[in-house]
């Protein structure tokens, strides 16, 4: 009988040469385009003549589209049984979409090309997570160590992208995203294909245990959603406190460096303590972090609070991927990871919508709502742990 890793004697198949580097390269390439898109795409919209209302609609389109495409492509990945091939196909489709976007001028054309691009691009990260977690489950790679290069690449894209856009103008934003996505195509081509896994019963059985898995995913999504006000208004808050753009950039860089460190060593933590415990720690840390931010602390304290990003974001994210990996059969990995990301997208989108009115009404005190969301996430993680009487094996 051939095991999921592809060896007839039951042992894991040997890792292809430099598999860790290939996975790290795939994450790094993916986040090059993301590191340009998140901070700078609104400038490109403005360059194309879109007003504030139109920019808001344009930014909402990918968020809406991914709610449809994520679960569908997760099911497709599992049905095809060739995750690397699907990653390559989606990367090529995204290149085509970004190429069309670069040529789009009027508002309708921009919306259509954005929707097409998002269909392929937005679910790709969850499918890459599924691929990497399967390699980790077989003992051929370390998910956290590969994922850290995505964070590093995102930071580099933020910094270098700002310099290049300052030199080339806002019209270069989509072209830079396209260059990053072309790098991602090459990176996915370098990945080995996974063998089609056997159809096996899910590791988690019983209504109570399945409810525990769902509760754990919701808990992680809540802790992630507690960051919505941070992402939207932290820079605004810090600027109002009188900090320079350089200081603000350093604060964001500290947070990214902290998450990189956690990803690098996080596998040991999740194996030692389990995903539910890490999610709970992330939620409790969010309570402390955001409650402190509501008081507009001095710069030295803000640096310490940004270091907590390692737990509020990275540990929680790593734990959610691990929880899904432990809880679904390998032949349902794509479905499981995209479903978890879908739940996270809904909660984060809702928190994003709420953050604007909250900030307008309460200013920095809106971070107290973030703190409350983190607390609910921590409590949900503890509940999820109580619903899991069994002990799952680690997915690595």
DSSP for 121-164 reads HTTHHHHHHHHHHHHHHTTS--HHHHHHHHHHHHHHHHHHHHHH
Residue 59: predicted pLDDT: 78
Whole-number Å distance between alpha carbons of 192 and 20 = 11
Q: Give pLDDT < 70 ranges for the chain.
A: 1-17, 199-206, 389-396
The alpha-helical segments, DSSP class H, found in the chain are 19-47, 52-80, 83-103, 107-121, 124-137, 143-168, 173-189, 207-225, 228-240, 245-273, 275-293, 299-307, 309, 316-327, 333-362, 367-386
* Cβ burial, residue 2 (10 Å; 0-12/13-18/19+): middle
What is the CATH T-level fold of the domain 207-386, as seen in this structure?
A: Growth Hormone; Chain: A; (1.20.1250)
What pLDDT, on the 0 to 100 scale, is given for residue 341? Answer: 87
- pLDDT of res. 389: 57
What are the structural domain ranges in the chain?
Answer: 19-189, 207-386
pLDDT for residue 391 = 44
Same fold, 19-189 and 207-386: yes
CA angle 183, 184, 185 (to 5 degrees): 90
Cβ-in-10-Å burial (0-12, 13-18, 19+) of 242 comes to exposed
Q: How is residue 174 written in tokens?
A: 């989509």
User: In angstroms, what is the C-alpha Rg of the chain?
Assistant: 21
Q: How far apart are CA 48 and CA 43, in angstroms?
A: 9
Question: What is the structure's pLDDT at 282?
Answer: 97
Residue 242 to residue 233: CA distance in whole angstroms: 14
Residue with tokens 């269909």: 119
* 200 within 8 A of 329, measured Cβ to Cβ: yes
Report the distance separating Cα 240 and Cα 278, nearest Å: 34
Residue closest to 219 by CA, chosen among 379, 386, 387: 379
Exposed, middle or buried: residue 323 (CB in 10 Å: 0-12, 13-18, 19+)?
buried
- The DSSP secondary structure of 16-83, one letter per residue, reads PTTHHHHHHHHHHHHHHHHHHHHHHHHHHHHHTT--HHHHHHHHHHHHHHHHHHHHHHHHHHHHHT-H
Domain 19-189 has CATH 3.40.50.2300: no
CA distance 99 to 90: 14
The pLDDT mean for the chain works out to 86
Give the C-alpha separation, 333 to 340, whole Å.
Answer: 11
């Amino acid at each position: 009988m051939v095991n999921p890793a592809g060896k007839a004697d039951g042992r894991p198949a040997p890792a292809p040469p430099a598999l860790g580097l290939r996975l790290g390269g795939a994450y790094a390439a993916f986040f090059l385009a993301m590191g340009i898109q998140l901070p700078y795409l609104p400038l490109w919209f403005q360059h194309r003549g879109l007003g504030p209302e139109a920019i808001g609609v344009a930014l909402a389109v990918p968020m809406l589209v991914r709610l449809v495409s994520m679960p569908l492509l997760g099911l497709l990945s599992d049905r095809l049984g060739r995750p690397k091939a699907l990653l390559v196909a989606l990367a090529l489709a995204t290149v085509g979409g970004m190429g069309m976007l670069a040529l789009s001028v009027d508002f309708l054309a921009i919306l259509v090309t954005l929707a097409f691009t998002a269909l392929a691009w937005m679910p790709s990260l969850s499918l890459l997570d599924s691929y990497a977690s399967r390699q980790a489950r077989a003992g051929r790679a370390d998910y956290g160590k590969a994922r850290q290069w995505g964070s590093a690449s995102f930071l580099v894209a933020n910094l270098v992208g700002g310099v290049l856009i300052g030199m080339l103008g806002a019209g270069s934003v989509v072209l830079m995203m396209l260059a990053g996505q072309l790098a991602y195509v090459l990176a996915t081509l370098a990945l080995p294909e996974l063998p089609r896994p056997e159809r096996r019963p899910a590791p988690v059985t019983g209504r109570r245990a399945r409810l525990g898995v769902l509760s754990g995913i919701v808990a992680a999504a809540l802790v992630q959603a507690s960051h919505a006000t941070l992402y939207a208004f932290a820079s605004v808050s810090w600027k109002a406190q009188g900090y320079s753009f350089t200081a603000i950039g350093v604060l964001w860089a500290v947070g990214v460096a902290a998450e990189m460190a956690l990803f690098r060593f996080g596998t040991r933590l999740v194996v030692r303590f389990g995903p539910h415990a890490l999610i709970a720690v992330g939620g409790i840390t969010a309570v402390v972090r955001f409650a402190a931010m509501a008081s507009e602390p001095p710069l030295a304290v803000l640096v310490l609070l940004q270091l907590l990003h390692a737990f509020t974001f990275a540990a929680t994210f790593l734990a959610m991927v691990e929880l899904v990996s432990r809880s679904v059969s390998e032949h349902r990995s794509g479905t499981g990871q995209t479903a978890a990301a879908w739940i996270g997208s809904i909660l984060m989108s809702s928190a994003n919508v709420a953050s604007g009115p909250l900030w307008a009404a309460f200013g920095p005190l809106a971070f107290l709502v973030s703190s409350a969301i983190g607390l609910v996430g921590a409590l949900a993680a503890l509940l999820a742990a109580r619903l899991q009487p069994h002990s799952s094996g680690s997915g690595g």
